[in-house]
């Protein structure tokens, strides 16, 4: 097998192989890694995917991105183990909710949100590559809820990894707090900081900025810009599309979007040969992307809290990967646009670039009232309870119907019981947690509370790892 190479969107960092890209996360020039060329699947290749199980399909799609880094037999074990943590028989169920309208449920993993789909694979790949190299890492992160629990579940009991996850004390939802702190694994260390989410993030940045500390404990991150997360998400676009007639018929997708990682995976699937008619980007009141696809101008605004908190973002970090293609993969040009953007809070693409983006993408936005209305409509029409993020996907799909009866797949990114208040407010029904999590809130907790103080945090990490 030939070994794929990855290049940075800012053109200055060295090209890397899969193992190094996995462990590096962000490129050294501040850019994001993308494949130098996209693996290609022909119509016959895609037709042959029709009856594969999800783990078998995942191996097929990911193998050309991985090359020799993980031999086929090991990849099979890692991927099968990862998806055995999901409690739906076919891992990611596809449900019809209307005429040509389908929900792809990505939330049957350990923490009930779509991030598990990639994180469960990522944690195992990290552990595998580190063991092979005889290395250990310490993952440090800050979370306001969702990402932290998915990362903890992905890293628990991995011999080559310790994970420290900081959350703001008393400021995450009871379910989210319990999902993180009830994990009984010796390598998982929850820290509640007496402060805000921004304080947590600042302390994590301080740790990474301390070169000695960073090197001594081999600090690493598992954030949404890691290439392997995008790679693992490409799989389910193929999964849904072949069930609905690809490669012989195109399929459209609608994706509730925050950092643009999920929908960028759809763009990746297109580059690999999957016939996707449209990618609809759903935003909440934090609508920087919807405004971009309408006008061609990316303009930062303050973040407002909504009922779909996992999409409350100011800037979508993975958009950089699309921008790189819009500037014809000119790393210097991409870096220039983004450096300016950080300074001025604004950039604009040319009319031609906007037209190219709009050939693939469309955007739509929904405020909390609109989101609530969609949750209610879907419940009234089908009896299904959907969470506010998924509801924005449904709304965005209905505002941007695909032409000529092309089926539309809406990515359902969270279990309704993860956001029970919003769902109950819209439908009068309170969604319940799956049986395996019914006692979640009563489980014993492991968490230390620390002041918002860098020295105390460092001493705690040192003594924990001693
Ligand atoms: C993270 C998340 C999103 C946003 O996904 P991106 O890849 O950041 O665009 C949407 N919904 C839920 C429930 C999430 O956890």
Which one of the listed residues 60, 76, 96, 115 is annotated catalytic? 115
| Confidence check: pLDDT of 307 > 90 | yes
Give me the sheet containing 361-365, strands edge to edge: 94-98, 101-105, 408-412, 251-256, 276-283, 361-365
Judged against a pLDDT cut of 90, whether residue 135 lies above it is answered with yes
**Is 90 exceeded by the pLDDT of residue 28?**
no
Q: Would residue 418 count as lying in a domain?
A: yes
Cα–Cα distance measured from residue 402 to residue 399, given in angstroms and rounded to the nearest whole number: 10
Query: 287: CA distance to ligand 1 center in Å?
Result: 14
Question: Under DSSP, is residue 255 helix (H, G, I), strand (E, B) or coil?
Answer: strand
Say if 184 falls within a structural domain. no
Kindly state whether residue 100 falls inside one of the protein's structural domains. Answer: yes
Residue 76 CB-density burial (10 A; 0-12 exposed, 13-18 middle, 19+ buried): middle
Query: Whole-angstrom Cα distance, residue 393 to residue 411?
Result: 7
Number of domain units in the chain: 1
pLDDT level of residue 16 (50, 70, 90 thresholds)? very high
Annotation says 50 is catalytic: no
Tens digits of per-residue pLDDT, 338-392?
999 999 999 999 999 999 999 999 999 999 999 999 999 999 999 999 999 999 9
Query: Would you say the CB of residue 146 lies under 6 angstroms from ligand 1?
Result: yes
Cα-to-centroid distance, 50 and ligand 1 (Å): 27
The answer to whether residue 412 sits within a structural domain is yes
The residue range of the domain holding 300 is 94-109+227-427
**Strand 297-299 to 346-348 pairing:** antiparallel
Q: Is residue 290 part of a domain?
A: yes
Question: pLDDT tens-digit profile of 84-129?
Answer: 999 999 999 999 999 999 999 999 999 999 999 999 999 999 999 9
What's the pLDDT tens digit per position in 198-252? 889 889 989 988 889 999 999 988 877 899 999 999 999 999 999 999 999 999 9
Per-residue CA distances from 369 to 94, 320, 364, 373 (Å): 27, 31, 15, 6
Task: Please state, in angstroms and rounded to a whole number, the distance separating the CA atoms of residues 302 and 315.
Answer: 10
In angstroms, rounded to a whole number, what is the distance separating the alpha carbons of residues 118 and 136? Answer: 21
pLDDT exceeds cutoff 80 at 178: yes
Among the ranges given (22-36, 148-162, 322-336, 414-428), the one the predictor scored with the smallest mean pLDDT: 22-36
Pocket test residue of 107, 113, 232 for ligand 1, highest count of atoms within 8 A of CB: 113
Among the listed residues 69, 113, 22, the one whose alpha carbon sits nearest the alpha carbon of residue 411:
113
| From 257, 317, 393, mutation site for ligand 1 pocket: most ligand atoms within 8 A of C-beta | 257
Q: What CATH number has the domain bearing residue 373?
A: 3.40.50.1100
The runs of H, that is alpha helices, within 32-173 are 43-47, 54-66, 72-84, 115-133, 146-155
Q: Is residue 241 part of a domain?
A: yes
**Contact between residue 4 and residue 18 where contact means Cβ atoms under 8 Å apart:** yes
Look at residue 347 and give its three-state secondary structure.
strand
Average pLDDT of the chain?
Answer: 95
Backbone torsion region of residue 369, taken as left when φ is above 0, otherwise alpha when ψ lies between -120 and 50, otherwise beta: alpha
Q: Whose CA is nearest to atom 14 of ligand 1?
A: 310
Closest CA to 242 of 433, 457, 11, 407: 407
- Residue 134, phi-psi category: left (phi > 0), alpha (psi -120 to 50), beta (remainder): left
What is the position in ligand 1's atom list of the atom closest to the CA of 390?
Answer: 11
247 lines ligand 1 (CB under 6 A): no
pTM of the model: 0.95
* Position 145 pLDDT exceeds 80: no
pLDDT digits (tens, 9 = 90+) for 180-197: 999 999 999 999 999 988
In this structure, is residue 408 part of a structural domain? Answer: yes
**Mean pLDDT, range 269-295, rounded to an integer:** 97
Pocket test for ligand 1, best of 236, 262, 283, 313 (most atoms within 8 A of CB): 262
pLDDT interval class at 1 (50, 70, 90):
low
Which of 104-108, 131-135, 236-240, 299-303 has the least mean pLDDT?
299-303
292 within some domain:
yes
- Confidence class of residue 271 from pLDDT cuts 50, 70 and 90? very high
| Percent of the chain's residues with pLDDT above 90 | 88
- Report how far residue 287's alpha carbon sits from residue 301's, in angstroms, rounded to the nearest whole number: 9
Instruction: Please report, in angstroms and rounded to a whole number, the separation of the first and last CA atoms in the chain.
Output: 42
* Rounded Cα–Cα distance for residues 324 and 353 (Å): 11
Residue 42 has pLDDT above 90, yes or no: yes
> What's the pLDDT score for residue 182?
96
pLDDT band at 445; cut points 50, 70, 90: very high
**pLDDT for the residue 198:** 82
């Amino acid at each position: 097998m030939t070994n794929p190479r990855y290049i940075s969107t800012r053109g200055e960092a060295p090209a890397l192989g899969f193992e190094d890209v996995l462990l590096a996360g962000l490129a050294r020039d501040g850019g994001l890694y993308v494949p130098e060329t996209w693996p290609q699947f022909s119509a016959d290749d895609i037709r042959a995917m029709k009856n594969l199980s999800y783990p078998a399909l995942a191996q097929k799609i990911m193998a050309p991105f991985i090359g020799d880094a993980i031999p086929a037999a090991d990849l099979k074990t890692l991927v099968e183990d990862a998806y055995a943590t999901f409690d739906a028989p076919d891992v990611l169920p596809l449900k019809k909710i209307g005429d040509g309208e389908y929900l792809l449920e990505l939330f049957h993993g350990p923490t009930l949100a779509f991030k598990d789909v990639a994180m469960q694979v990522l944690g195992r790949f990290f552990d595998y590559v580190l063991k092979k190299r005889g290395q250990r890492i310490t993952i440090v992160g800050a979370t306001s809820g969702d990402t932290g629990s998915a990362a903890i579940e992905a890293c628990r009991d991995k011999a080559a990894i310790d994970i420290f996850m900081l959350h703001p004390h008393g400021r995450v939802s009871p379910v989210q707090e319990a999902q993180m702190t009830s994990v009984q694994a010796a390598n998982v260390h929850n820290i509640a900081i007496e402060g805000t989410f921004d304080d947590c993030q600042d302390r994590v940045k301080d740790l990474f900025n301390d070169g000695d500390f960073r090197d001594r404990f081999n600090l690493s991150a598992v954030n949404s810009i890691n290439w392997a997360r995008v790679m693992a998400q490409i799989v389910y676009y193929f999964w849904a599309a072949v069930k609905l007639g690809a490669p012989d018929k195109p399929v459209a997708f609608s994706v509730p979007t925050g950092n643009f990682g999920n929908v960028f995976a759809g763009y990746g699937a297109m580059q690999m040969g999957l016939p996707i008619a449209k990618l609809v980007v759903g935003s909440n009141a934090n609508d920087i992307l919807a405004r971009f696809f309408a006008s061609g101008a990316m303009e930062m605004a303050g973040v407002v809290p909504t009922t779909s908190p996992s999409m409350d973002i100011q800037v979508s970090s993975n958009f950089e990967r699309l921008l790189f293609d819009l500037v014809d993969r000119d790393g210097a040009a991409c870096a220039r646009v983004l450096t300016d953007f950080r300074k001025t809070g604004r950039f604009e693409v040319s009319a031609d670039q906007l037209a190219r983006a709009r050939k693939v993408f469309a955007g739509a936005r929904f405020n909390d009232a609109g989101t609530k209305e969609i949750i209610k409509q879907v419940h009234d029409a089908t009896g299904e309870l959907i969470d506010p993020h998924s509801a924005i996907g449904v709304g965005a799909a209905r505002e941007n119907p695909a032409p000529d009866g092309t089926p539309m797949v809406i990515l359902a990114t969270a279990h309704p019981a993860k956001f029970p208040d919003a769902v109950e407010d819209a439908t009068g029904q309170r969604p319940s947690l799956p049986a395996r999590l019914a006692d979640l809130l009563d489980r014993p907790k492991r968490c230390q509370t620390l002041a918002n103080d860098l020295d105390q945090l460092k001493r705690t990490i040192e003594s924990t790892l001693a």
